């Protein structure tokens, strides 16, 4: 058994897939004026089961004498279905279904109420009861308005002596599904509990979150509102407004302007319409469309009528989106109508006005220009000449299933009677109704188009929906195109299926108009507060959920709608700051070379000899390297310059400070020799102070090697320090190693400063102890100031401060130690002699 079921499903897969993706297109023509009789929307049919076969021209006779009414297509659909049932000899053999159709059109519920009351007062048979020839049970098909069906059922319940089975072909309503309260009433329409989910899924698909709602102010409207709110909260969709249209006509007239202003002042482009068409809500909808309010109306199949307005804009996004119950196509309807009606009296033009006509979408695509650009009488003639199939609406399809349900119930009842040889025994029509009702409640079957029908109200499944886009053209022409489908039984995320090709053909674009909330939307969760984007974030559209952050190499413009490439900055020679520092370093380098030249040229003079020529030469050379290493900090950094600037800085400054320390120790020892010629003289003659320089440099080399081995300097890109710029700098790598190098410099400088300070008052005209003390004081001051400044600035100014500290501290040593000596050598040569030295010493 399982194998057969699986094989059957496998064979039906291609059919199911084709049905789900095949586009469906319809058209119809409506009269340009609405007549008074069109306002009648309820249409009831008493159904009879006669024991004799009806004449083949029965439906021809009963339909051809009737006037043309708005709901005439219900009578045609009912006649077609009954004809199909009567032709099926296996379903009701030797029996036929017929219905009553008054000369003035559909039988209204008020007419049925009068008829039932008259039958009760005169103890007559119930409507459609005929002795011998008919089944002794009244069956009514009512619709499409559920309120009228409910009212009629309550009237019937007043007459306990009568039992009437009522099948409604209008929209499903939970009130009518109460089997205990209404045991003889059946709803043919599927449940609409998934309608809110279908609509919200469609809305979320197009990123809408700001929608309007217009519903009837009754139980049905309130229930739909609760379903809708539940789905909206799950998807962060909010109401721009909720128009609860009162059903009282007098109260409605006083609030018409309020309802209109709510739509006109709202910023939403999408409005959901839900309610009965035979109500004040329909009056509002017709008025809004006639006033050319451009909105995208989202509604149900009840609202797929073509309005009489001739307003139309080519490639307009605005129209009506109808969620129609998904059901199979019933073929042969138009052929039946042509065979039944008097074609001399009813033309194809009239048939096109009765109901939607289905045609091939490929025809519509090939003739889209004709359809959209040449809407004239010639176009209408072209449409009428095409081969179309009249389509069943939701209500007509439910009417179709209702007739088959009655036929199957009667078939089951008769089959059991024949099997058990039961007889009526004069129990009357109530017993027949009870028996037929018992069979009807258990009836489930597959209709001729292959869809399951279950009359058990508790087991009704949720409806699937076809989504149609409806457009109204001039001359009363309406076009309805299927653009998608919603199936609640599919997994979440796969329930909505849309055809972008059909959307593009219908609207001219794959994109729908936006419908998002604005700054004036209040406190709704889905609303935007229209706040500007944060720093370095942009949004090139309004009402975005979040801003887009610019890449690291770009920054947001002032309008926050574009990202602009950042300018690359570094301490370059073109920069005024870099140019000034480079000029300072160059000038001090020149001064250092000149001082070295003076010392070399006058190397035999007493002042040069007294201040230790070798150490002076070493100090001048190291100072020259200090000035030149500044150029490693200026210009576009690369890996080599980043390493060289820090390593060179560490080594040459170590040489500077250690040389000054050696000179200071030499001066102190020179004066101590005169006091004690023992050990001090030995150290001075042996040149021990000069060994301080290589030892100090060796220690610094070890520190730099560790620095390079652990975390060397590298090129870094700073994108945050300066807005709109990318600053390329040399990252120190290991900050700890960098501060260790500075700490080592500080310890040498502090030791040199202490020794020089102790020797500041030593006599001798050539004594440089005071100058050494002042130079080290200046040196230490520069680098003590450098540390807090270094921590507080970033970018190229950090590099500039470091270069300035190098140049300033080195310039301080050059100026304090060598400028006075060069002044004496060049400008006061008379003081550069041993005689002056002795005079100064003796004094």
CATH top class, domain 576-842? mainly alpha
Q: What is the pLDDT of residue 401?
A: 94
- Give the count of alpha carbons within 13 A of 471, CB side only: 21
Q: What is the pLDDT of residue 726?
A: 84
Rounded mean pLDDT of 409-413?
90
Lowest mean pLDDT among 139-153, 156-170, 334-348, 428-442: 334-348
pLDDT reading at 382 higher than 70:
no
Confidence band of 98 (pLDDT split at 50, 70, 90): confident
Mean of the per-residue pLDDT values for the chain?
77
Rounded mean pLDDT of 476-504?
84
Higher-pLDDT residue of 761 and 222 is 222
Higher-pLDDT residue of 39 and 111 is 111
CA 112/CA 107 separation, integer angstroms: 7
Q: What is the pLDDT of residue 557?
A: 84
Q: At what angle do helices 613-629 and 576-601 cross, to 10 degrees?
A: 160
Non-local CB neighbours of 427 within 8 Å, separated by 6+ positions: none
Higher-pLDDT residue of 31 and 508 is 508
Higher-pLDDT residue of 147 and 618 is 618
Confidence band of 133 (pLDDT split at 50, 70, 90): very low
Confidence band of 197 (pLDDT split at 50, 70, 90): very high
pLDDT reading at 646 higher than 80:
yes
Higher-pLDDT residue of 525 and 628 is 628
The model's pTM is: 0.60
Instruction: Tell whether omega for the bond before 144 is within 30 degrees of 0, i.e. cis.
Output: yes
**At residue 618, what are phi and psi to the nearest 5 degrees?**
-60, -45
Confidence band of 405 (pLDDT split at 50, 70, 90): very high
Secondary structure class of 544 (helix, strand, coil):
coil
Q: What is the pLDDT of residue 200?
A: 93
Rounded mean pLDDT of 434-441?
88
Higher-pLDDT residue of 113 and 355 is 355
CA 582/CA 584 separation, integer angstroms: 5
CA 260/CA 239 separation, integer angstroms: 16
CA-based nearest residue to 353, from 311, 323, 390: 390
Confidence band of 583 (pLDDT split at 50, 70, 90): very high
- Domain limits, CATH 1.20.1070.10, in the chain: 576-842
Q: What is the pLDDT of residue 370?
A: 47
Confidence band of 66 (pLDDT split at 50, 70, 90): low
Confidence band of 18 (pLDDT split at 50, 70, 90): very low
Q: What percent of the chain has pLDDT over 90?
A: 9
Rounded mean pLDDT of 91-107?
77
Lowest mean pLDDT among 132-146, 591-605, 652-666, 802-816: 132-146
Higher-pLDDT residue of 563 and 476 is 563
Higher-pLDDT residue of 106 and 598 is 598
pLDDT reading at 377 higher than 70:
no
Helix runs in 355-475, H state only: 361-366, 368-373, 377-385, 394-420, 429-441
Q: What is the pLDDT of residue 36?
A: 42
Lowest mean pLDDT among 124-128, 353-357, 438-442, 752-756: 124-128
Higher-pLDDT residue of 839 and 341 is 341
Q: What is the pLDDT of residue 276?
A: 79
Q: Count how many residues are written for the chain.
A: 843
pLDDT digits (tens, 9 = 90+) for 739-762: 888 888 888 888 888 877 776 666
Lowest mean pLDDT among 114-128, 240-254, 576-590: 114-128
Q: 510 exposed, middle or buried (CB, 10 Å; 0-12, 13-18, 19+)?
A: exposed
Give the DSSP letter of residue 628: H
Higher-pLDDT residue of 445 and 107 is 445
Rounded mean pLDDT of 702-712?
89
Neighbours of 817 (CB within 10 A): 24
Non-local CB neighbours of 216 within 8 Å, separated by 6+ positions: 244, 245, 247, 274, 275, 276, 279, 280, 281
Neighbours of 737 (CB within 10 A): 22
> Are 498 and 483 in contact, with CB atoms under 8 Å apart?
yes
pLDDT reading at 63 higher than 90:
no
Q: What is the pLDDT of residue 355?
A: 72
pLDDT reading at 424 higher than 60:
no
Confidence band of 347 (pLDDT split at 50, 70, 90): low
Q: Beta strand pairing status for 496-498 and 537-538?
A: unpaired
Confidence band of 272 (pLDDT split at 50, 70, 90): very high
Q: What is the pLDDT of residue 119?
A: 52
CA distances from 684 to 92, 336, 679, 815 (A): 138, 133, 9, 27
CA 82/CA 127 separation, integer angstroms: 19
pLDDT reading at 388 higher than 80:
no
Q: What percent of the chain has pLDDT over 70?
A: 73
CA 617/CA 603 separation, integer angstroms: 10
Rounded mean pLDDT of 483-508?
83
Rounded mean pLDDT of 403-417?
89
pLDDT reading at 127 higher than 50:
no
Q: What is the pLDDT of residue 590?
A: 93
Q: What is the pLDDT of residue 781?
A: 83
Rounded mean pLDDT of 343-364?
65
pLDDT reading at 486 higher than 90:
yes
Q: What is the pLDDT of residue 763?
A: 59
pLDDT reading at 543 higher than 70:
no
pLDDT reading at 100 higher than 70:
yes
């Amino acid at each position: 058994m399982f194998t057969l079921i699986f094989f059957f499903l496998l064979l039906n897969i291609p059919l199911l897939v084709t049905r789900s993706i095949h586009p469906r297109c319809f058209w119809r023509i409506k009269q340009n004026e609405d007549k008074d009789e069109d306002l009648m929307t309820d249409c009831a049919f008493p159904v009879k089961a006669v024991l004799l076969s009806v004449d083949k021209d029965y439906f021809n006779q009963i339909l051809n004498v009737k006037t043309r009414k708005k709901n005439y297509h219900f009578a045609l659909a009912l006649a077609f279905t009954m004809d199909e049932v009567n032709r099926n000899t296996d379903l009701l053999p030797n029996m036929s279904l017929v219905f009553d159709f008054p000369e003035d059109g559909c039988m209204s519920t008020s007419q049925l109420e009068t008829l039932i009351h008259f039958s009760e007062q005169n103890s007559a048979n119930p409507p459609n009861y005929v002795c011998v020839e008919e089944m002794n049970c009244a069956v009514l098909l009512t619709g499409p308005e559920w309120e009228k069906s409910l009212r009629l059922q309550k009237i019937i319940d007043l007459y306990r002596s009568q039992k009437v089975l009522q099948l409604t072909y209008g929209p499903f309503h939970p009130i009518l599904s109460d089997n205990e309260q209404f045991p003889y009433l059946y709803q043919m329409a599927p449940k609409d509990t998934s309608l809110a989910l279908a609509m919200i899924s469609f809305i979320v698909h197009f990123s809408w979150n700001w929608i309007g709602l217009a519903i009837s102010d009754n139980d049905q409207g309130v229930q739909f509102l609760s379903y809708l709110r539940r789905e909206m909260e799950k998807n962060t969709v909010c109401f721009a407004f909720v128009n609860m249209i009162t059903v009282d006509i007098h109260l409605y007239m006083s609030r018409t302007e309020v309802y209109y202003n709510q739509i006109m002042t709202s910023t939403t482009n999408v409005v959901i319409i839900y309610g009965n068409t035979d109500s004040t809500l329909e009056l509002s909808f017709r008025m809004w469309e006639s006033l050319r309010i451009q909105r995208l109306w989202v509604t149900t199949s009840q609202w797929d009528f073509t309005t009489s307005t001739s307003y139309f804009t080519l490639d307009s996004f605005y129209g009506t989106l109808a969620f129609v119950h998904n059901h199979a196509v019933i073929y042969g309807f138009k052929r039946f109508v042509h065979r039944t009606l008097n074609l001399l009296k009813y033309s194809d033009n009239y048939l096109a006005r009765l109901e939607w006509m289905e045609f091939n979408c490929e025809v519509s695509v090939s003739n889209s220009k004709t359809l959209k650009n040449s809407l004239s009488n010639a176009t209408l003639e072209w449409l009428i000449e095409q081969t179309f199939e009249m389509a069943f609406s939701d209500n007509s399809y439910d009417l179709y299933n209702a007739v088959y349900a009655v036929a199957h119930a009667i078939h089951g009842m008769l089959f059991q009677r024949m099997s058990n040889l039961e007889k009526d025994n004069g129990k009357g029509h109530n017993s027949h109704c009870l028996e037929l009702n018992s069979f009807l409640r258990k009836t489930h079957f597959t209709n001729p188009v292959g869809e399951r029908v279950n009359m058990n109200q508790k087991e009704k499944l949720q409806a699937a929906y076809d989504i149609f886009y409806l457009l109204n053209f001039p001359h009363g022409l309406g076009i309805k195109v299927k653009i998608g489908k919603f199936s609640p039984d599919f997994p979440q995320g796969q329930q909505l299926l849309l055809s972008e090709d059909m959307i593009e053909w219908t609207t001219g674009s794959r994109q729908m108009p936006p419908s998002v909330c604005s700054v004036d939307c209040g406190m709704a969760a889905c609303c935007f507060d229209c706040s500007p984007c944060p720093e370095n974030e942009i949004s090139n559209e309004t009402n975005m959920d979040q801003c887009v952050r610019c890449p690291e190499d770009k920054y947001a413009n002032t309008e926050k709608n574009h990202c602009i490439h950042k300018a690359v900055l570094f301490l370059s020679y073109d920069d005024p700051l870099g140019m000034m520092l480079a000029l300072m370093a160059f000038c001090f380098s020149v001064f250092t070379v000149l001082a070295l030249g003076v010392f070399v040229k006058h190397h035999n003079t007493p002042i040069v000899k007294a201040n230790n020529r070798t150490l002076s030469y070493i100090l001048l050379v190291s100072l020259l390297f200090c000035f030149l290493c500044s150029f490693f900090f200026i210009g576009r950094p690369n890996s080599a310059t980043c390493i060289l600037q820090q390593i060179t800085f560490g080594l040459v400054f170590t040489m500077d400070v250690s040389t000054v320390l050696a000179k200071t120790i030499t001066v102190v020892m020179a004066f101590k020799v005169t006091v004690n010629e023992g050990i001090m003289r030995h150290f001075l003659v042996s040149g021990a102070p000069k060994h301080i320089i290589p030892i100090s440099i060796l220690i610094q080399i070890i520190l730099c090697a560790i620095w390079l081995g652990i975390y060397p300097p590298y090129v870094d890109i700073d994108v945050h320090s300066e807005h709109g710029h990318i600053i390329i700098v040399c990252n120190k790598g290991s900050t700890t190693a960098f501060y260790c190098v500075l700490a080592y410099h500080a310890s040498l400088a502090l030791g040199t400063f202490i020794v020089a300070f102790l020797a500041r008052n030593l006599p001798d005209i050539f004594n440089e102890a005071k100058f050494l003390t002042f130079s080290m004081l200046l040196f230490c001051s520069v680098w003590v100031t450098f540390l807090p400044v270094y921590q507080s600035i970033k970018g190229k100014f950090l590099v500039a401060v470091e270069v300035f500290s190098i140049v300033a501290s080195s310039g301080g040593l050059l100026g304090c130690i060598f400028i006075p000596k060069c002044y004496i050598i060049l400008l006061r040569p008379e003081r550069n002699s041993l005689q002056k030295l002795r005079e100064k010493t003796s004094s």
